[in-house]
Amino acid sequence: MKLIKVAAGVLNQTPLDWAGNQARILAAIEQTRSRMATILCLPELCITGYGCEDAFHSMNTVRRAWQSLQAVMPATRGLIVSLGLPVMHQNGLFNCACLIVDGKIVGFVAKRFLAGDGIHYEPRWFKPWPADVVDELCVDGDSFPIGDLCFDCGGVRIGFEICEDAWVANRPGAALALKAADIILNPSASHFAFGKLEVRKRFVLEGSRAFSTSYVYANLLGNEAGRAIYDGGALIATGGTLVAAGPRFSFEEVQITTAVVDVEATRISQARTASFRPQLGDNDALMVRTPFDFPATTVEPVDLQHAEWETSQHLKAEEFTRAEALALFDYLRKSRSQGFVVSLSGGADSAACACLVHLMCALGLRELGAEKFASRLSHLRKLTPGDALALTKQLLTTAYQASENSGDITRNAARSVAAAVGAEHLDWSISNLVRDYVRAIEQAAATTLNWQEHDIPLQNIQARVRSPGIWLIANLKNALLLSTSNRSEAAVGYATMDGDTSGGLSPLAGIDKAWLLKWLRWLETVGPNGLHTIPELNVINQQTPTAELRPADRNQTDEEDLMPYDVLDAVERAAIRDRKSPVEVFQTLRADFNKHTPQQLGFWVERFFELWCRNQWKRERYAPSFHLDDENLDPKTWCRFPILSGGFEVELAELRALISQQ
């Protein structure tokens, strides 16, 4: 046996936070050393942060990344450490993993396959490195090999697949196997999405099996740059068997996952494979050799610690809770805000926002403890440790702003939810302000406003009058105002700009309304593993969603204004995620919603496409939102659509013609 203890480091980095990023890298190296591991893989672009955006095109970023690399090198004595950073070479910028062996740089592997879909825009900044090409990088008078490299460190061969490299069909691991790689390191910045962990596990396990190697996967953690959430979840596999899995959604800034692997076992496994044909001959151009003495290591038991919630039948609800809680925590501390403010309407969306802030406190306290939780938020003035309710009281202010069309049900619901989560709750009326605006416009325009002719303006003025007051509270508190819009509303523009869309962060804009309602019922009756339920949500869950902007005798409901939420979400997925035409969307709905007539379904499909095209300008102006799955509508990170378009006129005419024949 030839046993080596390897480590995957998970870091909560911040773009361009040179001192903080460096401190966390050094902490990861120290923890690796204390756990007697020899090889450490750290995440992709961990020196700069992954989400630097166009700051990657600043030479200051490139220079400071190099300076940080130099500062970290002395701490790697006796270790093999992979660090990610951008490297300028031949006037091209490359996303690189630098391998440091015993305090010295031995080479740079440049990423071959760049992530350019979804929320990723790597080709905007970086160049892809071609296969089987090696060059010489010269920096400050020193030269280093750079390119498609494999490293022989004291007789142990180490190769790289950098994040996207492992997601493609022609992944570099196949070539590394021919070079007899013993260990493949995968430094990643893989954002969270529902169900994505299982995909990662598959390529890690299959890579280790098919390539007869040990595979070390490291990832980022937390809300790094504002929108993407990274769940951590380091993985180590050898010969097709998972031997270590790190925690996900941790509130800690550094997590190290280790395992002992036997390189002789994977070598003999490859030798037994009849189809394996080693790459023989002169491979020196692609192989960097450096001496290294591996310390003696003993066999350790496999320790696969899965959190109990990860095996729950409510996995999506658990992931959503933990992803949002961690993202809110990071956004709070990295933006240096003094807390959160929510305009609590007594409806589902604002109640969900308030509950998520409370769950942030509860989950953070459970992992970190009160003292450490408070110390991580040291920028907050006068934050005192306490239980989840006490901390929520200090971090969350809610407000109910009643208009003439508001009812006791929503007022009491808002008060009940605020008390249940521990928020500081305020209550005031906007009726006089609304009347003053209406009277002023009536006088100026010499007209009388009425609900028959001026329905939308009279609804919108109520939502907009709520904005200045809640912004004033946020300013007084120096806190972050949360917008409560969800993805279903964003798809059809069912929101008042500068009204209920007001806010600096929109935590629900990545999730659809139908599922959010299910999550609230789950939170009422089941709740996150290890935490309590919030039974007071019953007053929310019993209601029919309504904007409550029309007079009570009009019985306004969201679904009457739009369409049933389950239909809306199905149309959105088919039209936007799957890029189907109106006729194709209609045909898809016929199979799943046959309880509705073809005419009704056709009306809803047409309504969706009209509202989608008409309201792109609203989506362009929404507050930043969290990326939660691969159906995001955020035009800045996922779903681009022209603000002005033909509005699917020809396609909708085809739909109407088809329905007329039904």
CA distance 612 to 36: 56
User: Average pLDDT of the chain?
Assistant: 95
**Boundary of a domain, candidates 306, 325, 350:** 306
Residue 64: per-residue pLDDT? 98
For residue 243, give the 3-state DSSP assignment. strand
List phi, psi (to 5°) of 642.
Answer: -65, 140
Same domain, 550 and 576: no
**Boundary of a domain, candidates 535, 554, 573:** 554
Is the confidence at residue 279, as pLDDT, over 90? no
Number of domains, the chain: 3
Is the confidence at residue 282, as pLDDT, over 70? no
Up-side HSE of residue 648: CA atoms within 13 Å toward CB? 23
Same domain, 331 and 240: no
Cα first-last separation, the chain: 72
Q: Which two tokens stand for residue 191?
A: 């954002």
For 294, the domain range is 3-306
Same domain, 153 and 255: yes
CATH number at residue 324: 3.40.50.620
Residue 629: per-residue pLDDT? 86
Helices (DSSP H) in 226-369: which residue ranges?
263-272, 315-335, 348-368
Same domain, 270 and 319: no
Same domain, 124 and 61: yes
Same domain, 579 and 545: no
CA distance 298 to 633: 51
Asked if residue 507 lies in contact with residue 482, where contact means CB atoms within 8 angstroms, the answer is yes
Same domain, 516 and 568: no
For residue range 228-268, list pLDDT tens digits in order: 999 999 999 999 999 999 999 999 999 999 999 999 999 99
Same domain, 426 and 506: yes
Average pLDDT over residues 361-378: 96
Same domain, 320 and 464: yes
Same domain, 16 and 56: yes
**Boundary of a domain, candidates 306, 324, 342:** 306
Exposed, middle or buried by CB within 10 Å (0-12, 13-18, 19+), for 590? Answer: middle
pLDDT band at 283 (very low <50, low <70, confident <90, very high): low
CA distance 241 to 204: 9
Residue 636: per-residue pLDDT? 86
CA distance 332 to 145: 41
Same domain, 493 and 541: yes
Same domain, 261 and 326: no
Residue 405: per-residue pLDDT? 86
CATH number at residue 167: 3.60.110.10
Residue 56: per-residue pLDDT? 98
Segment among 273-277, 367-371, 622-626 with least mean pLDDT: 273-277
